[in-house]
């Protein structure tokens, strides 16, 4: 089948999840983070994901913004940072995460080529809207799809079902991009044509089905989809 829709995970794929900690370390009062912000960003992201998986398995959904706050609180506790003002700064910056540099032009190229574009994310609608507006990419996205509609996190099949229901496409007509290998491999098993955006140069996970392609960033996404 011909690809009709290009669908992207949000956090780590379109938006730089380390940006909040990096920017907070530069802000007034961020001296404590100057040396440990990469560790904070890594722990925060890992616990955010772990908590989403645990909640999916336990059928104990709560909005991703709350999960994000729980992950941050864990990371701050590990690093022994007890600073309510810094916590609020970090959360505020997470609402305005930077898009990776290649993202706006890449999405514009896909739209020019005639593909529908969308986000499919664990993020709640308000989180995604804030990030999209901050990155100024709303004009090159046709849809922003949140797991809130089904009350369970990726990689549950109900989440991937949302794409067909919202965009009127078959799984094989979807090029799905994710920086999370587990997301890409489970989406591949679901039937999407998946591209793992392996920004960290990590090894392939032993779950799901292998992605159709592995890339280091999204620069050549339009050319890649054209050849699928």
Active site residues: 9
Of 134, 149, 102, residue with least CA distance to 8: 102
- Chain-centroid distance of CA 46 in Å reads 13
d(CA 118, CA 103): 13
Q: Residues 6 or more apart from 10 whose CB is under 8 A from it?
A: 119, 121, 122, 123, 128, 131
- Ramachandran category for residue 3: left, alpha or beta (phi over 0 → left; psi -120 to 50 → alpha): beta
Classify strands 143-146 and 174-178 as parallel, antiparallel or unpaired. Answer: unpaired
d(CA 6, CA 187): 13
């Amino acid at each position: 089948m011909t690809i009709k829709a290009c669908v992207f995970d949000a956090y780590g794929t379109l938006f730089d999840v380390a940006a909040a900690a990096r920017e907070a370390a530069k802000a007034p009062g961020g001296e404590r983070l100057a040396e440990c912000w990469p560790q904070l960003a890594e722990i925060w992201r890992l616990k955010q994901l772990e908590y989403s998986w645990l909640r999916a398995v336990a059928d104990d959904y709560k909005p991703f913004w709350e999960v994000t706050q729980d992950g941050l609180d864990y990371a701050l506790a590990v690093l022994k940072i007890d600073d309510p003002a810094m916590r609020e700064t970090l959360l505020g910056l997470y609402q305005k995460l930077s898009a990776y540099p290649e993202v706006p032009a890449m999405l514009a190229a896909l739209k020019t080529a005639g593909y529908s574009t969308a986000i499919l994310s664990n993020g709640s609608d308000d989180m995604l809207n804030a990030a999209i507006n901050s990155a100024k990419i709303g004009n090159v996205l046709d849809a922003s799809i949140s797991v809130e509609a089904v009350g369970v996190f990726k990689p549950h099949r109900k989440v991937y079902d949302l794409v067909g229901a919202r965009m009127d496409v078959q799984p094989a007509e979807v090029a799905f991009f994710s920086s999370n290998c587990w997301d890409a491999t489970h989406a591949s098993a679901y039937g999407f044509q998946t591209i793992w955006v392996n920004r960290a140069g990590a090894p392939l996970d032993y779950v799901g089905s292998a992605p159709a392609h592995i890339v280091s960033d999204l620069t050549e996404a339009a050319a890649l989809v054209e050849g699928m």
